Amino acid sequence: MNFRVGSKTDIGRARERNEDSFLVKEPLFAVADGMGGHRGGDVASAMALQALDRLDLPDQGPLAALVEQIKEANQAVLERGAAEGSLRGMGTTLTAMLAEDGKAHLAHVGDSRAYLLRDGHLQRLTEDHTLVQRMVREGRIRPDEAARHPQRNVLTRALGVDDDLPVDEFTLDLHPGDRIVLCTDGLTNMVEEDRIRHVLESEPDPQSAAERLVEEANAAGGDDNITVIVVEARGDGDARTAYSSGGAVATAPGPGGAEAVRDDTAGAHRAPSPSPARPGRRRRIAVRAVIVLVVVAAGLAGLRVYLNHQWYVGDSNGRVAIFHGIPAAPLGYHLSHVAVPTVIPANRAEQLQPYRDLRDGITASSFPDARSIVSQIRRDVLAQTRRRAPGTG
Ligand code: MN
């Protein structure tokens, strides 16, 4: 798998400095949005990405290494902030993606965001670490109120604030044609998600897409610095990436797709007729085989598109986990895989009324929804623990 990448950062229309930074060093991509007086903001975001850039991949696995490097970046920003008076209180967000072997490993702190554009749908992958997001989760305000809330920029997590930094981490399978967007809140506070989706869909070139998104944020007022990275995954040797994986084969075969259908057909029509048959009969069998293959291919492609948009929370080896797909295994064929494991014991969650069906899977409407279900389970299990052992909280 290879990538086409576009990136753009802009000061916006209202700020005196650009405190955003970004890193594009395939296969590592990241945005950081710095904050703090004087030059604190730009120092924090630039420092964090310099530290991230020192990532080399040892044996512990790419996602673990990425998270470890973010914790080191946190230490670096923290120490510099403590050592230099003019930089005191500086901090930064960081949203990073490391591509590896058909997968995207993501790690995230703060209110910058990662999105996935797949098959024309834009999916938010990260949860904002902000006070208002927490209020939404707790049901104290509505999501549409959060977008306009005066304190929507108050972060609950950032690099450079505390020794102990929880980092959100997860891994996604990448498909050819997928676009991952990393961006700072200077984009998402100014441009609606549906508009972002539209721009991404209408700009085939990732660089033009990144530039147009920045233009749109500026046209809407440009209240903040704006940074956008668009990473497009492409199949090996794929010249033109089709967005619709199923339709491309059945109705408008590209060079690769047509080849694949022909090969399969040849194999299929040899198999059922080992003895010589009349040419007409052989031809009819071949035609029938093609029809069957196209129907099966379209069905599988449709199923894959469907499964790509399904998420649920379930039990994976006794632990609560977020699954991608649906909780079913017809003919022993699993239609899901673990997307995000946790350490929460599943039996503890099942003891609580709302989660007693955990084993069968609790359906989520989206990936962020699945994440907030897990957060809720974590809180409820913790609260139950405290009730059981009073005085230890
Ligand atoms: Mn910002």
pLDDT digits (tens, 9 = 90+) for 145-176: 887 787 777 888 999 989 999 999 999 999 99
216 Cα: distance to centroid of ligand 1 (angstroms): 16
170: three-class secondary structure by DSSP:
strand
28 Cα: distance to centroid of ligand 1 (angstroms): 21
69-83, 285-299, 318-332: least confident range: 285-299
152 Cα: distance to centroid of ligand 1 (angstroms): 11
Q: Which helix (H) or strand (E) holds 105?
A: strand 103-109
98: three-class secondary structure by DSSP:
strand
Look at residue 14 and tell me whether its pLDDT is greater than 60: yes
- Helix, strand, coil share of the chain (percent; to 5): 40, 25, 35
Confidence of residue 59 (pLDDT cuts 50, 70, 90): low
19 Cα: distance to centroid of ligand 1 (angstroms): 8
C-beta separation of 103 from 180 below 8 A = no
Classify strands 226-234 and 179-183 as parallel, antiparallel or unpaired.
antiparallel
Q: What does pTM read for this prediction?
A: 0.62
211 Cα: distance to centroid of ligand 1 (angstroms): 17
pLDDT of residue 257: 34
144 Cα: distance to centroid of ligand 1 (angstroms): 19
C-beta separation of 62 from 107 below 8 A = no
219 Cα: distance to centroid of ligand 1 (angstroms): 16
Look at residue 352 and tell me whether its pLDDT is greater than 70: yes
C-beta separation of 206 from 179 below 8 A = yes
> What are the beta bridge partners of residue 97?
29, 106
186 Cα: distance to centroid of ligand 1 (angstroms): 5
Would you tell me the crossing angle of helices 279-307 and 255-270 to the nearest 10 degrees? 130
248 Cα: distance to centroid of ligand 1 (angstroms): 39
224 Cα: distance to centroid of ligand 1 (angstroms): 6
7-21, 224-238, 322-336: least confident range: 322-336
Mean pLDDT of the 208-218 span: 98
Task: At 3, list the tokens.
Answer: 């990538």
Residues 6+ apart with CB under 8 A from 268: 289, 292, 293
CA dihedral for 360, 365, 370, 374, sign (positive or negative): negative
253 Cα: distance to centroid of ligand 1 (angstroms): 44
Alpha helices in 220-362 (DSSP H): 245-250, 255-270, 279-307, 346-350
**Maximum pairwise Cα distance, the chain:** 90
Residue list, CB under 5 A from ion ligand 1: 33, 184-186, 224
106 Cα: distance to centroid of ligand 1 (angstroms): 20
82 Cα: distance to centroid of ligand 1 (angstroms): 23
C-beta separation of 289 from 277 below 8 A = no
Identity of the amino acid at 183 = C
Q: Tell me how far apart the alpha carbons of residues 210 and 229 are, in angstroms, rounded to a whole number.
A: 6
197 Cα: distance to centroid of ligand 1 (angstroms): 20
